[in-house]
Structure 1
Amino acid sequence: MSSTWKPFTITSFPTVPLTTTFTPPPLCSGVYLPQDRNVLMMDHEASCLPSGFKSQESSFFSPGIDCPQGYWSACHDTTGVASITTVTCCPFRGDISLACVTPSTLGGRWASLFCTWIAPGGNGTTVSYTGSSAADKTSTLPSAMTSPDGINAFGVRIVFQSTDTPSSTPPPSSLSSSSLTNTGSGTTTSTTTTAGALAAGTLVEASSSGLSTGATAAIAVVIPVVIIAGLVGLFLLWRRRRRQQGVDGLGANAPLAQGPPGNKYYYANEAKWQQPLAPQELPVEQSGMRAELPSVQNSYEMPVGSPRGPSSA
């Protein structure tokens, strides 16, 4: 006879507080293969979980305002009472982050394991785990995993309401962090929510403070370029002004070049004979402007009827 799973509605909780950050011992940092379940798990021992933990679906830490160290807030809901928020904290190890499992899919040896991670498809990945043999010998072995192989965990389930988180203090860090999950085809970011946002029933994206590596590199590149461009601009302006000063020195106010003294011209083949010739250019100091005169002298003829000198006998 098959049974139908029904959602668990929360209306009230026993007082099992988890108001400080629980830190698991160092031996809980790996992946294990417990003999009683024969599935790969994280934090399967009671010592790896907060005091008072129970694996039943109806078991919660209340009030719980902080996930344990090495856990992140994988999912939350306000089913039942809107002012009360339930959070399932799932563990992560390196680049493997476990996420929430729909309770209706759990059964058999996976019952009460509310967190899981599914290996990537294709070539999959290799995960090292610690197992115990029949002789109670512990060894660490590699395991080649591909989808739908996975790793499971109980998860730590907490519940709180807005009055459990003082508004004067920031929300717990473990409820406002983001983790990375290796999916085989790339790395995806799982965004978590802050305790204040969970109480309000809204999802907010976690953000990091300070400049990113890309922004720092961009600043390091842009600043030298701006400085070099400024120096080049100053050099071009200085050269332009120098050229402009040189042109102004040859303007209308510049003194005219002085020619040789006198206004007499000489024929080159008559060194001892000189004749004043009409100047080809009028001096500037006389006319105020330069002007050209004809380059040849005018010729004149004597009248035809003019008396001629005495003729020789």
Structure 2
Amino acid sequence: MEPPYPPLTTTFTPPPGCFGTFPSWAIHGTVHWFLQAETWNATTCFPTSFQFNPTATVTYSPGICPSGWTSACNSLKTFIGSIETIHTCCPSGLGCFPKDPDHRWESNFPCASPLYNIDRSAWSIPATASVASSQYNYAIQIMSQNSPSPGLSNTPTRTSVSAGTSSGSVLPSIVIPYPPRPGLAPGAKAAIAVGTILGVIFLAVIVYMAWRLGRQRRGTPVVSQPEAMQQPVQAYWGNSEGLRGQPFNTGNLNANQNPAMELGVEEPRK
């Protein structure tokens, strides 16, 4: 969001029940879906002007983290003449983390909790589904000005090179050519060309004679070899203990038999 930024100078206190222990986590595999708390999109749980659209993130300046929220991480943003610190406020117990490109929901919910165990049977989670066992939440961004940035000004300057002239104009480049190399006489060049041609002809004659000699020794005419037969392509299913080492045709591969596993997620039950 470009300036001006809305202020958040008073401590915002969310109503009770906005951010409880309701499990909010992502399940991905054959079907992608996300379990959310009922209060996530409640405007009363967030400060005024907060945007639930991740492409229209609001940064408050000056700003204070809401009550029960802490500055989980920060980053620097440079403007003309100053360096600003962007703080990411998360509910207590949640923090910032490196985003996984396979977890598409993390761009919307930057705050996450540590991993915890999930009761699959209580939530009817399929055994073939992978679960990102973290609680996610929106983040509130605030900005604080640090200090003037040295070396920055409103007008950019251009560096020029002059040679003591009053106008300060840049001198043109000076190209110094290499000295010419001594060449060969025309007669020497002709001799080299003739010798090269004769050498190529002599080598071709030797190759032909060797081929004829080998053919006479075998006593059989040279025939073209038949093309190799196309063999069926086989591979090995290496990620399943029950099928390890068993060959199968790749044309019959069913991707749903072995959903992709990711770091930081609970593997599906076998």
State the TM-score bracket (shorter-chain normalisation).
0.3 to 0.5
Higher relative contact order (CA 8 A, sep 6+): 2
Structure with max Cα Rg: 1
